Amino acid sequence: MPCLDICRVEPDQPYVLVTLFECLHDLPHPVQALTAIHRLILPAGAVLVADMKVADTFTAPADTVERLMYGFSLLICLPDSMSTPHSAATGAVMRANTLRDYASHPCQISSQSTENRPDACYPLRAMQKCGPSTASYDCRSILPVHLQGVGMKHMKHSAREMQLLLRQHHVLALRRHPELAGSIRWKARTGELKAVLPGIYAPVAQAADPFVRISAACAKDPNGILLGKAAAKASFWPELRLEHVEVSYPHRHAAASGFLFRQRLVPPELIVEHDGLRLTSAALTSIDLVLELGGAGIDEALRTGAATLSQMYQAFALTPNRPGNAARLWILHDSRDQPWSEAERLAHRLFRSAGLKGWLPNMPILLDGRQSFLDIAFPRERLAIEIDGYSTHRLQFESDRARQNRLASHGWTVLRFTWTMLTQEPEECIRKVRRCLAIARASRVSA
């Protein structure tokens, strides 16, 4: 049989019973061995130690058995144990109090009798042989009769606890829940769980989910900070497509597929917590995305109210001398009329370059008891400009038409421009706006 280091054993599932027959006194580091065993067994499991039958205390002259044990110890057990540095040097004469000291040393394993307490936590059972040549043991008087049932009960309890943790955090991290390590690894080996990152597991069907991967990145290191798209998706932009999870850690971590690990210094005032996750503020996140998404991150943050333009300028001022800051500043300046989409941003740009005055972006209006926001409005002329992009507005087709009817019934003129119109026929769009403004102003003068 192969020889294994008990301190490195990773079982498929926790053990109900671990036995040590005539071996603990030979181990150079018995406390470390018991500590490792403590990690491997169920809370309701047991450790059974059977060793040489010696007297509880030293007496002289010793009887024949004790003299024989000292001979074994001097010539075999002690030399073997002491061949390892820093050995405990127990020897064959391991008295009951010595075992109790080992069991209760740093790992707090109870050595008290638990014959009437089958639900006791991590009991250590010790028994001694009737004599040096006895080869049989009666374990029935030592093991609780309901041990197997207790183990199954614990497994069911662990499963319920894992389900609760998954609902709360999306992942199971061994670092956070060492008491569930055996159950988690067992479910991973049976195909129920999958490692998203080393030591962090999720149900197989959900392991590729972006929010699960985000949770895994944060569970990897409590000091991690979500950046870029991951920060946006976890907070103000859940619809954003996420190719990889970008996160900053204070220390270097090994690369992992689908993740980008950085070592970036983020000002503390620009770090927020959202649903238990640490991430960059919406203001910083939106300007971080400029190099990848242009002004789309700023537009979404403004549309959802996650950040104001003033907060974005403050975040920019707190992160100077970064590559790409010139582009970020230009986009911030281009956002001065606070667009809510890339199409609106283009329309604002066209209106400014055409010298049109008197318009307001995203103007709130109350019609028939319902509040709406007009993409661009000339309130004096009662002219509304609706910008139909390819994402947000397209999903609101029905409500947009109902809003247009309400506007018309209250004397508003509505023009609708698409992205194609704005990009391919910008002059025609401006001409139509000017014509409608002229008609509205003429009607007002004649009235």
Classify 306 as helix, strand or coil: coil
Query: For tokens 């988690």, what's the residue?
Result: 184
Classify 28 as helix, strand or coil: coil
pLDDT given at position 157: 57
- Does the domain at residues 342-446 carry the CATH identifier 3.40.228.10? no
pLDDT given at position 155: 52
Residue 133 has which token pair?
Answer: 């040549």
From residue 224, give the alpha-carbon distance in Å to each of 213, 244, 280, 432. 13, 15, 10, 52
pLDDT given at position 428: 96
Each residue's pLDDT, cut to its tens digit, for the chain (447 residues) gives: 556 677 766 666 678 888 888 889 999 988 888 888 877 887 777 888 888 888 888 888 888 888 888 888 899 998 988 888 888 899 988 988 888 888 776 544 333 333 333 333 334 444 444 334 333 333 333 333 333 444 444 455 577 888 888 988 899 999 888 888 888 888 888 899 999 999 999 999 999 999 999 999 999 998 999 999 999 999 999 999 999 999 999 999 899 999 999 999 999 999 999 989 999 999 999 999 999 999 999 999 999 999 999 999 999 999 999 999 999 999 999 999 999 999 999 999 999 999 999 999 999 999 888 888 999 999 999 999 999 865 544 556 777 888 889 999 999 999 999 999 999 999 999 999 999 999 999 887 776
Report the C-alpha gap between 270 and 145 in whole angstroms.
Answer: 59
Q: Are 216 and 172 in contact (CB under 8 A)?
A: no
Tell me the Cα Rg of the chain: 36
pLDDT given at position 390: 58
pLDDT given at position 208: 94
pLDDT given at position 114: 35
Per DSSP, the residues of 277-299 read EEEE-HHHHHHHTHHHHTTHHHH
Query: For tokens 């009769």, what's the residue?
Result: 145
Report the C-alpha gap between 174 and 188 in whole angstroms.
Answer: 12
Q: Are 109 and 43 in contact (CB under 8 A)?
A: no
| pTM recorded for the entire structure | 0.62
Peptide bond preceding 43 in cis form (omega within 30 of 0)? no
How many degrees, rounded to 5, is the angle at CA 325 between CA 324 and CA 331? 100
pLDDT given at position 300: 96
Q: Are 52 and 76 in contact (CB under 8 A)?
A: no
Classify 309 as helix, strand or coil: helix
Strands 124-128 and 41-51: parallel
Q: Are 50 and 129 in contact (CB under 8 A)?
A: yes
Could you tell me the residue ranges of all domains in the chain?
Answer: 6-145, 147-207, 213-336, 342-446
